Structure 1
Amino acid sequence: MARPRDAELDEAIIRATRNRLVSDGYARMTIGDIAADAKVSRPTLYRRWATKFDLVVDALDYGFRQQEDLYTLDLSRLAPRDAFAEAVRRLDPAYYNPDAMVLMADFAGETIRTPELLEILREHAVEPRLALLENLLGELEELGAVRAGLDRRTIATLCFGSYFAAFYRGDPREDIAPAVVAALWPVLAPPS
């Protein structure tokens, strides 16, 4: 009979993996470095995860599970413009994880060698964020708080993309949501 896994040890390995993803990137991080950082042996790590990719998938899943509550928004307590602003804020990759931009850039760079990483990122970090804004726009449309027939996907993509443009320009991320809302809300709001 196999011994039960030690949850604290697993978490130490996951945290070490997440830190190495940020500092070294997927291609340069090694199982040996992760094992050393987590203060475990390589065999201990390999008993839990067969490959570096499997370990990274679990490390990403760990972060995604912590973010799940970010993808719901209670409209009942917010004015329509404020709800839109909050949804745009939550599109920020760094809303929960300050290292998210670095991780996303690394995974984009790995697309040719390890396309599965980008697919995991799309499924768990990009699409839920975009769906939050798209669903909110649908709810606001039903309430008559925004114009009918908006291209919700394009609006969500533009808002999400603004964080990447600001990151590369060196603009402060705190300024992004208010600027995006100021620029887009007059176009989204129904005619008076």
Structure 2
Amino acid sequence: MDAQRASSGGRPRDAAIDEAIILATRKRLVRDGYARMTIGDIVADAKVTRPTLYRRWKNKFDLVVDALDYGFRKQRDMHAVDLSGLEPREALVEAVRRLDPACYNPDAMVLMGNFAGELPRTPELLEILRTHAVEPRLALVEEVLRQLRDRQVFQAAIDVRTIAMMCFGSYFAAFYAGEPREEIPERVVAVLWPAMARA
């Protein structure tokens, strides 16, 4: 969202209103899921009018896309450390830490589960989830792994995609197993590092 982006009437957008609507949408997605969530609920929660919302988003689906983007951007902006300045193992641990869906939003696992549950009715939601929430996180870890491989820290044959997916999946496994997510980065890297590193 861009606060300077003009509405159809030509006036600058109010970033506070945008954020209020987005946050209301994210809460409703967790509480009600996509199918049960209504524009009426969102405008009531955000304390805005329907025309205010529809000047910004043409429908519920477009609003949800922005709501997912918002969450990923907030999580990305929480991390100020430049990974390129870290020692190789520390860089990977930090990259895995940034995979955590619940880092910014504690309800992220429920939110993502709700999207998966909508698959029979709204299959395009899963693609939106992949594009706006999953792939950006995987890409971060893949890039760190490629850089470390290029620096010959790892074996040339490592499969960066599979490793990134394993790291991401560990957060979901921990969630369902009731394991503490804070320990995942160190635990996962401790297992993977010996298998990937050059002798």
Do the two structures share a fold, i.e. TM-score over 0.5? yes
Q: What value does the CA root-mean-square deviation take over the aligned residues?
A: 2.3
Matched, 1:2 2:17: no
Please tell me the residue identity of whatever aligns with 1:36: A
CA–CA separation in structure 2 for the residues paired with 1:73 and 1:114: 38
1:71 touches 1:132 (CA, 8 Å); kept in 2?
no
CA–CA separation in structure 2 for the residues paired with 1:77 and 1:47: 43
TM superposition shift of 1:73: 7.1
Matches for 1:116-155 after TM superposition, within 5 Å: 116-155=124-163
TM superposition shift of 1:72: 9.4
Please tell me the residue identity of whatever aligns with 1:123: T
Which residue of the partner structure matches residue 109 of structure 2? 101
1:71 touches 1:129 (CA, 8 Å); kept in 2?
no
Residues 89 and 7 of structure 1, relative CA distance in 2, 3 Å threshold? closer
Count of matched residue positions in the alignment of Structure 1 and Structure 2 = 191
Matched, 1:86 2:94: yes
Matched, 1:157 2:127: no
TM superposition shift of 1:27: 1.6
1:85 touches 1:177 (CA, 8 Å); kept in 2?
yes
TM superposition shift of 1:66: 2.9
Runs ≥4 residues deviating over 4 A: 68-73
TM superposition shift of 1:3: 6.1
Residues 38 and 75 of structure 1, relative CA distance in 2, 3 Å threshold? closer
TM superposition shift of 1:96: 2.7
Which residue of the partner structure matches residue 72 of structure 2? 64
Question: Which runs of 5 or more residues in structure 1 are unaligned?
Answer: none
Which residue of the partner structure matches residue 166 of structure 1? 174
Please tell me the residue identity of whatever aligns with 2:153: A
Secondary structure in 1 matching 2:98: helix
CA–CA separation in structure 2 for the residues paired with 1:160 and 1:90: 10
Matched, 1:24 2:38: no
* Higher alpha-carbon deviation: 176-185 or 7-16: 7-16
Question: Which runs of 5 or more residues in structure 2 are unaligned?
Answer: 1-7
TM superposition shift of 1:189: 1.1
CA–CA separation in structure 2 for the residues paired with 1:131 and 1:73: 17
1:72 touches 1:132 (CA, 8 Å); kept in 2?
no
Which residue of the partner structure matches residue 194 of structure 2? 186
Q: TM-score, normalised by structure 2?
A: 0.85
Secondary structure in 2 matching 1:150: coil
TM superposition shift of 1:190: 0.7
Share of identical aligned residues, percent? 70
